[in-house]
């Protein structure tokens, strides 16, 4: 019996389910690897150990570091999606933070108390401070320590773009674009483009209807 083979046999494409299973397996492995430091940090309750763990994790290079950092923050932040990315050199200075699904945080960012919405993209060297009143001056003009300051939770909405080297000290609405080098000291509305120091709105745009490209 003769079997005829097609001239161009179909390429074998890895099933999407296999890729998902592999990713879930890697996430589980890195959760186990991050667990000892998370325990030492009291799962975010022991600030000193949390800071050490955050600083150390920021220096792990490559994709290994990407998996390790998000696993460490999954275990220590108030909330963190495993389907987000925290790049090399970036760290959270405070465990009272929230990272939504599909968030990208570029290299060398410093993030304080903040809540970052789903799918928001943050470029390199961005700082999100815990508000504008972390340090005060007394009547003699002396600067007080952080223990006497006010730490706010800065909310960054979903689907935002935060340009490189921006400094964020106030809330940003969903769908807003912040240009590179911008200093945000007052809340920004949703679906605007803002640039400058201090930030000023240069464009307003309407949100795209669902299902539109």
pLDDT per residue as tens digits for the range 160-213: 999 999 999 999 999 999 999 999 999 999 999 999 999 999 999 776 655 433
Residue range 153-164, pLDDT digits in tens: 999 999 999 999
Q: How many residues does the chain have?
A: 213
Percent of the chain with pLDDT over 70: 81
Q: What pLDDT score does 129 carry?
A: 95
pLDDT over threshold 60, residue 113: yes
> Which of 5-14, 98-107, 190-199, 201-210 is predicted least confidently?
5-14
Residue spans of alpha helices (H) in the chain: 16-40, 47-58, 62-76
Confidence of residue 131 (pLDDT cuts 50, 70, 90): confident
Task: Find out whether 59 and 66 touch, Cβ atoms under 8 Å.
Answer: no
Q: C-alpha distances in angstroms, 117 versus 67, 83, 205?
A: 20, 13, 19
CA dihedral 163, 165, 171, 174 (to 10 degrees): 10
Class of domain 19-135+150-204: mainly beta
Residue range 64-84, pLDDT digits in tens: 999 999 999 999 999 999 999
- Token pair belonging to 91: 């760290």
Select the more confidently predicted residue: 22 or 83. 83
Query: Which residues touch 99 (CB under 8 Å, ≥6 apart)?
Result: 73, 77, 79, 80, 81, 84, 86, 105, 116
Q: What pLDDT score does 208 carry?
A: 65
Select the more confidently predicted residue: 136 or 93. 93
Q: What pLDDT score does 212 carry?
A: 37
């Amino acid at each position: 019996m003769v079997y005829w083979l097609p001239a161009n046999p179909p390429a074998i494409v890895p099933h999407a389910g296999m890729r998902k299973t592999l990713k879930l397996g890697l996430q589980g492995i890195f959760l186990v690897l991050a667990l000892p430091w998370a325990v030492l940090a009291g799962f975010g309750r022991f600030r000193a150990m949390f800071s050490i763990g955050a600083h150390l994790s920021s220096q792990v290079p490559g994709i290994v570091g990407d998996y390790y950092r998000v696993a460490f923050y999954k275990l220590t932040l108030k909330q963190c999606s495993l389907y987000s990315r925290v790049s090399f050199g970036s760290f959270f200075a405070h465990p009272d933070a929230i990272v939504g699904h599909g968030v990208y945080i570029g290299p060398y960012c410093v993030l304080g108390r903040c809540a970052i919405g789903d799918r928001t993209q943050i470029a390199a060297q961005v700082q999100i401070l815990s508000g504008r009143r972390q340090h005060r001056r007394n009547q003699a003009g002396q600067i007080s320590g952080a223990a006497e300051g006010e730490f706010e939770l800065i909310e960054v909405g979903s689907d935002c773009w935060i340009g490189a080297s921006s400094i964020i000290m106030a809330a940003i609405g969903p769908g807003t674009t912040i240009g590179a080098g911008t200093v945000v000291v007052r809340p920004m509305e949703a679906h605007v483009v803002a640039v400058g120091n201090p930030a000023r709105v240069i464009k307003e745009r309407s949100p795209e209807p669902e299902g539109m490209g």
